[in-house]
Amino acid sequence: MDLRKLGNSVANLAGEAGKRAMDISEKAAKTISKSAENIDIQKMGESASNASKKVQKMAVGVSDKAKEGVIKSAEAVNKVMDVNGDGQVDIEDVIIMGLRIPGICISREEFLRSEFMKDYPQEIIEDAIAFNPAHAGISSEKIEKYADEVIKFERNCVSGISAALSTPGGFAMAATIPADIAQYYGYMLRVTQKLLYLYGFPEIDVTEKGKKFDTETLNILTLCLGVMYGVAGANNALKAVAKALGTGVQKQLMKKALTKGTIYPIVKNTAKWFGVRMTKEVFTGFFKHAIPVVGGVIGGGLTFMSFKPCCDKLKASLRDTLLSNPNHQVTEDENIIAVEIIEEIDCVEDN
């Protein structure tokens, strides 16, 4: 995403406002000159003309300053958010920023143990950790209740943070836009990890090694975010991964499918979709933060309204996979992708 273009877009709006001010002032001068009766028309016309020129000069100055300020703010946001250093802001940057926020990364064992300890004996908890909750005999109805509580808790947390971060106005907003976006997606990543574990997925590696995260992890999280936003192909791809894991494919063998093979083009398509979204979100961020009090109300309110539907989409996808539902009916598209994954893995093993 090129935030310089974003800056130019906002500045163009200011320029258009300046041009309209010029037109209005010229029309006003003409009207005053025509309507002047028993007055020195020439002097009146000269005064109106001088006033028009002053308004034009002020409008040009405002437009230039607005353009310069917005471009500088956009460049600042771009610099902060381009954490992988590829010259653009994309979903990978946002995921990395989110995972670096303290408390976002979830330990599968600690989470499952904490969730189930108040309702189940030790042997069932150990079975859920060693395999998955469905294998341990925890019903789908119970899992859904846990999932709903997770979504409710995380939504309340992120909504309060978003309202606080949306408060600064003026160009101080440039510093808060990356934090606002990172916090929002960070809490989506918290929900994503928890839902994955409740619905049977193995632990994903969210540890940072040498300022880098595992590509497989970034790609599976990109798919999950794609499901949340209804990106084409993401849902079938995630279900296909679940099918492959559910039929005995080892987690470590899924790496090729997620980073180079069948799933990878879908991941890239999802990332491309989010690239466009990032542009819109940063653009919206400039205006949301421009008015301090209103920005806080809008920021927290929109976050509260948008967070749950996205999480519900992911929950709906995960609760009906081969990992979470033994009676899952595999769709044709899902099966095609899963078969290709397994064939790719077989080729790797043969070599």
Please write the tens of the pLDDT for every residue from 195-221.
Answer: 999 999 999 999 988 878 999 999 999
For 135-169, the pLDDT digits (tens) are 999 999 999 999 999 999 998 887 765 444 444 44
* Phi, psi of 209, rounded to the nearest 5 degrees: -120, 110
What confidence score (pLDDT) does residue 287 get? 41
220 φ, ψ (degrees, to nearest 5): -70, -35
- In DSSP terms, 209 is beta-bridged to 212
Residue 59 token pair: 């409008």
- What's the gap between Cα 330 and its chain centre? 29
On whether the CB atoms of residues 315 and 200 are closer than 8 A, the answer is no
Sign of CA dihedral 64, 68, 73, 78: positive
DSSP 8-class letter at 167 = -
CA–CA separation, 248 and 1 (whole Å): 39
The C-alpha angle with vertex 328 and arms to 327 and 332, in degrees rounded to 5, equals 140
Given phi > 0 = left and psi -120 to 50 = alpha, else beta, which region is 139?
Answer: beta
Q: Does residue 20 carry a pLDDT above 60?
A: no
What band does 11 get if pLDDT is binned at 50, 70 and 90?
A: very low
Q: What is the pLDDT of residue 122?
A: 97
pTM of the complete model? 0.73
Q: How confident is the model at residue 45 (pLDDT cuts 50, 70, 90)?
A: low
| Distance (Å, whole) CA 84 – CA 243 | 31
